[in-house]
Amino acid sequence: MSIRHPIIAGNWKMNKTIREAQDYAGRLLGLLGETTEIDVVVCAPFTALSTLKDELEESVIHIGAQDLSFAGNGAYTGEISAAMLVDTACTYVIIGHSERRVILRETDEEIAKKVKAALKAGLTPILCVGENLAQREESKAFAIVRSQVEKDLPDLSPADLKRVVIAYEPIWAIGTGKSATSADAQEMCTMIRSTLAGIAGAVADEVNILYGGSVNADTIVELMAQPDVDGALVGGASLDPEGFAKLVLNA
Ligand code: PEP
């Protein structure tokens, strides 16, 4: 029996207007009902968060953001702080998604500061790590992911580390329809857990490690059967509430 509680998190990326978010929330709630064995999270654009607060705050569905500032407040034009996310009833925040690392050149140093800002505010960070195709083909995937985990989670107490969720997302599998095999996902999640054990000892067994990359309502079944895969971060397949609810119920 795992001591971890499974998590399925949807990442809408830059999709959905306020009206679409409101409609989605109502439909997903109707499909998932009152209780769920799994923690379901919807990570929405900043503009939709207060609408999701109105629709979901008292429900079984958790609200997440897709980024936050490492700074607390002040002269950071365009940024959103951890306290602002808490204000919209967010409890999760995605940090270091590969689209931000690659397109927006986010560095491990910035990501480490964002993880600390999230933890300080009581948010659960979903830290994304993963290799690109060239790195996998050159057999560097394990070294890359290990180094991201070590650089993005420096000097955390075991109590803080326990609150971090890690999403292993191979870049070549994101939005491509080419998922890693469940055996590959398990192998990498095991390596991540042993890296965490090296940093903080036994608490590594309590950290939720998700897989992300073209997960759908069919592939989730075998992924969830892997002992070190504690759930999924889902992009494209989370955009339609009926499809996402089916994926959650299959998990
Ligand atoms: C993601 O963006 O985190 C993701 C996993 O996307 P997709 O499921 O579309 O591959």
pLDDT at residue 34, as a whole number: 76
The CATH class of the 7-250 domain is: alpha beta
Global confidence as pTM: 0.97
Residue nearest to atom 7 of ligand 1 (CA): 235
d(CA 36, CA 22): 21
Q: pLDDT exceeding 90 applies to what percent of the chain?
A: 94
Using CB atoms within 10 Å of the CB of residue 216, give its burial: 0 to 12 exposed, 13 to 18 middle, 19+ buried: middle
- For residue 228, pLDDT over 90 is answered with yes
Residue nearest to atom 3 of ligand 1 (CA): 235
The ipTM assigned to this model is 0.98
Domain boundaries, the chain: 7-250
Band of pLDDT at residue 1, cut at 50, 70 and 90: very low
Residue nearest to atom 1 of ligand 1 (CA): 235
Cβ contact 10:244 at 8 Å: yes
Distance 170 CA to ligand 1 centre (A): 10
- For residue 2, pLDDT over 70 is answered with no
- Segment 176-202 shows an average pLDDT of 94
Q: Is the CB of 88 under 6 A from ligand 1?
A: no
State yes or no: 50 annotated in a binding site.
no
**Number of Cβ atoms within 10 Å of the Cβ of 132:** 16
The tens digit of pLDDT for each residue in 52-68 reads: 999 999 899 999 999 99
Using CB atoms within 10 Å of the CB of residue 15, give its burial: 0 to 12 exposed, 13 to 18 middle, 19+ buried: middle
Catalytic residue (choose from 55, 97, 99, 106): 97
What integer best gives the mean pLDDT of the chain? Answer: 96
Ligand 1 atom with the smallest distance to the CA of 212 is: 5
d(CA 161, CA 142): 20
- For residue 195, pLDDT over 80 is answered with yes
Distance 14 CA to ligand 1 centre (A): 12
Distance 201 CA to ligand 1 centre (A): 30
